Chain A
Amino acid sequence: MAQKLIDLADVVRSKNAGPYELTIDIIFDNIEDYNLVKEKAVITREKIAELYQVPLADVKDVIHFEPARAIKVTLKRPIPAGSPGERDVYGAQQHAPLLDLEL
C-alpha cells in the first residue's frame, strides 16, 4: 500500500496569509523524509490545483524551507476571509485533503 503524507509529515497545516490567501505548511521531523517528499515532487502547483479544484494561476510556487524541513504552498482564497459565503475565517481547516496524498 502506498505511503501517505499523513504517515510521514509531522505537521500539515493551513492558515490565512492575509485575508485573500491561504498558506499550507507541511513540516517533517527529519531531513530524510523532507528530502524524500521534496525529491519525489509530491507537492507541486499542479497537484494542489487538482486537489483543491482551483485554476493553476491561483496557486503560487512551492517553496522549500530547509531550516524548518518545511514545504510551503500558497493559494488564492475563493472568497476573502469573512466575506459573505466564506467558511473558514482563520483558514485553519483547509489542510485535510493533503493528508491522504500518496507518495
Chain B
Amino acid sequence: MQAEFKILAPTAILGYGFPIKSFEAGLTESPDIIAVDGGSTDPGPYYLGSGKSFTDREAVKRDLRLIIRGGQKLDIPVLVGTSGGSGADSHLNWTEKIVKELASEEGWNLKVALIGSQFDKEYLKAKLADGKISPLAPAEEIKSADIDNSTNIVGQMGIEPIIEALDNEPDVVLCGRAYDPTVFAAPAVKAGFKPGLAFHLGKILECASIAADPGSGSDCMLGTLKEDSFILKPLNQERRCTVTSVAAHTLYEKADPYHLTGPGGEIDLTDTEFTAISAREVEVTGSKFIPAETYTIKLEGAELAGYRTISLAGVRDPIMISQLDDILDSIRAMVRDNFDYLSEDDYQLIFKKYGQDGVMGDLEPNRNQPANYELGLVIEAIAKTQELADTICSFTRSSLLHYGYKGRKATAGNLAFPYSPSDFKGGEVYSFSLHHLLEVDDPIKPFKSETREFKGGN
C-alpha cells in the first residue's frame, strides 16, 4: 500500500470557481485524484423537482475545463459527486454533455464513468410495500401515491458503486446523487486507507476551503491521507487551517457532530483529535467508521406544489403599518369572497412582511412588537395553474392598493411598487416529498453504471 494518498479539492461546489494559482499549487503536490462535489439540497426542492441545475452552465464548464485538464496532465482521475446539483438523470446528462463538449474543444480522449442514481418508481413502490422504506425523522411515513407524485427521486450512493467504477480506470467519474464525502473517500478506501479517516476527510474536503480561515467556498484545499491520520492544507497562501476552523467545520450542516450517518454506516468522531502541525496545517486522528447492520440509502424526492406569482411593494404610512395584520386579514376575506367558487385546495395566498417577521415567521420572538417605520411586503399566490396564481396575486394587489382602512389619510393608494410590471411569475413550485431511508441488500445494484468514451483527439 502507498504511504500517502493525496486529494485535491478545487471548490465547494462545481461551478463556484477557484483561483487558478491555488489549483496549480495543488497540482504541484502530485495528488492521486481531483474530486469535487457538484450539488446540495440546500438550494431547495425546485432543482430536484424540475430537473434543472442550480449551478450555472458556463461556470461549471469553466471549472470542469481546468479540473479535467489538470487530471489529464497528471494522468489521475477526476471525480464529480452529485452532478448537476441534484443528481437526477437530467442533471447527470447535463453534466455529461458539458464534459463531451470539453473533450471535443480540447482534443481529449476521455473514458467517462457515469453512475446514475435516479430511482424507478415501480421499484420503490415494491420496496415500500415490503416495508423497506422508512422516514428519516422528522419526515413522515409515505404512501405509494407520494412516490407517484414525485417528479424525480434520487438515492445517495455510498462508496461502493464508485469503487466499482474505478476498476475500469476512467479519466472522469460523474456520479448522480452521492453522499457528499464519497467521491473523496472511495478512491482512498480502494487504495487501502481506513474508511473512518477517508470519510471524515471527505466530509471536510467536500466544502474545499470553507474549513480554512478565512473560509471560502471558491478556493482549493489539499487533503493528505496517511495510515492513521489525515492532514489538511489550504492551497492559497492567504488561508490557513487551524484546529478551530477544522473542528468547527465538522459541526457544519449536521445535527450531531459526533456521529455522521451515511450510506452503510456512520463516521464516529468520539475519539477524534485535531492537532496543529504547522501554522497552516491541521492533522486529524481517531475518526472511525462504524458499519451499519443494515445498509441504507437516503432517498430524496420532490413533487410539484403549484405555480407561483409574486408582487413586491413597500409600505411607509404609519397608520397603515399599525393595522397591517388586520388589513391583510380583510384582504384575504375579500379574495375568498370574490372567488367563492374556488376551493381551499386551488390556491394559497401568503403575505411576507419584511421589517416585521418576514425572515422568521412563526419563529420570530419579536413578531408582536411594533414594526419599523417602513415595511417590505411580498404578496405571493401559489395555485394549481400559473393563470390562477396570476389572478389571485393581481386581485390581492389591486384590493390592497385601494383598501380603505380605519383612519386612512393616504386615500390615493396604500402601496409603493418598485417595479412596473408589479407582478412576477415564479413558475413551478416544488416541495420535498421524500427524505427516507431505503434498505438494500446490495449497495451497488440500485445504481446504474456505464462507461462512455468521448473521442476529441485525432
Partner of A84, one of B41, B305, B361, B435: B305
- Contact B365–A97 (Cβ < 8 Å): yes
- Contact B253–A23 (Cβ < 8 Å): yes
| Residues of A with C-beta under 8 A to B46 | 82
| Residues of A with C-beta under 8 A to B382 | 84
Given A18-B435, A68-B244, A84-B306, A25:B251 Cβ within 8 A:
yes
Q: Which of B3-11, B395-403, B425-433 is near enough to bind chain A?
A: B425-433
* Chain B interface size range: 35 or more
B44 within 8 A of A: yes
Q: What's the Cα separation between A54 and B364 when bound, in Å?
A: 11
CB nearest to A85 among chain B residues: B350
Residue from A11, A54, A82, A89 whose CB has the most chain B CB atoms within 10 Å: A82
> A48: shortest Cβ distance to chain B, in Å?
10
> B296: shortest Cβ distance to chain A, in Å?
15
CB nearest to A90 among chain B residues: B42
- Contact B247–A65 (Cβ < 8 Å): yes
- Contact B432–A63 (Cβ < 8 Å): no
- Contact B255–A17 (Cβ < 8 Å): yes
> A89: shortest Cβ distance to chain B, in Å?
4
| Residues of B with C-beta under 8 A to A16 | 41-42, 253
Given A18-B435, A53-B365, A23:B255 Cβ within 8 A:
yes
| Residues of B with C-beta under 8 A to A25 | 248, 251-252
A69 within 8 A of B: yes
Given A67-B274, A85-B350, A19:B43 Cβ within 8 A:
no
Interface string of B39-79 (1 = CB under 8 A from A): 00111111000000000000000000000000000000000
- Contact A18–B359 (Cβ < 8 Å): no
Q: Main secondary structure on chain B at its contact with chain A?
A: mixed
- Contact A68–B248 (Cβ < 8 Å): yes
Q: What's the Cα separation between A87 and B352 when bound, in Å?
A: 8
| Residues of B with C-beta under 8 A to A54 | 363
Q: What's the Cα separation between A91 and B453 when bound, in Å?
A: 41
Interface string of A76-95 (1 = CB under 8 A from B): 10101111110111100110
- Contact B258–A78 (Cβ < 8 Å): no
Given A25-B251, A84-B305, A97-B365, A69:B244 Cβ within 8 A:
yes
Residue from B254, B272, B350, B358 whose CB has the most chain A CB atoms within 10 Å: B254
CB contact list, B262-312 vs A, under 8 A: 272-274, 305-306
Residue from B248, B273, B365 whose CB has the most chain A CB atoms within 10 Å: B248
- Contact A87–B360 (Cβ < 8 Å): yes
A29 within 8 A of B: yes
CB nearest to A92 among chain B residues: B42
- Contact A83–B431 (Cβ < 8 Å): yes
- Contact A67–B358 (Cβ < 8 Å): no
Q: What's the Cα separation between A52 and B46 when bound, in Å?
A: 27
CB nearest to A84 among chain B residues: B382
B385 within 8 A of A: no
Partner of A15, one of B253, B350, B430: B253
B139 within 8 A of A: yes
- Contact A82–B365 (Cβ < 8 Å): no
| Residues of B with C-beta under 8 A to A23 | 251, 253-255
A43 within 8 A of B: no
Q: What's the Cα separation between A16 and B305 when bound, in Å?
A: 21
Interface string of A17-45 (1 = CB under 8 A from B): 11111010101010000000000000000
- Contact A93–B247 (Cβ < 8 Å): no
Residue from B44, B256, B358, B363 whose CB has the most chain A CB atoms within 10 Å: B363
Q: What's the Cα separation between A78 and B357 when bound, in Å?
A: 14
CB contact list, A40-70 vs B, under 8 A: 51-54, 58, 60, 63, 65, 67-70
- Contact A82–B244 (Cβ < 8 Å): no
| Residues of A with C-beta under 8 A to B274 | 67
Q: What's the Cα separation between A89 and B358 when bound, in Å?
A: 13
> A21: shortest Cβ distance to chain B, in Å?
6
| Residues of A with C-beta under 8 A to B361 | 78, 85, 87
**Which 5 interchain pairs have the tightest Cβ spacing?**
A82-B44, A68-B247, A67-B247, A74-B255, A83-B431
Chain A positions near chain B (C-beta within 8 angstroms): 11, 15-21, 23, 25, 27, 29, 51-54, 58, 60, 63, 65, 67-70, 72, 74, 76, 78, 80-85, 87-90, 93-94, 96-97
Q: What are 26 A-to-B residue pairs whose CB atoms are below 8 Å?
A: A17-B254, A17-B255, A18-B255, A19-B41, A20-B139, A20-B435, A23-B255, A27-B244, A29-B244, A53-B362, A65-B247, A65-B257, A67-B250, A67-B273, A68-B251, A70-B251, A78-B361, A78-B363, A82-B43, A84-B350, A85-B350, A87-B352, A90-B43, A94-B360, A96-B360, A97-B363
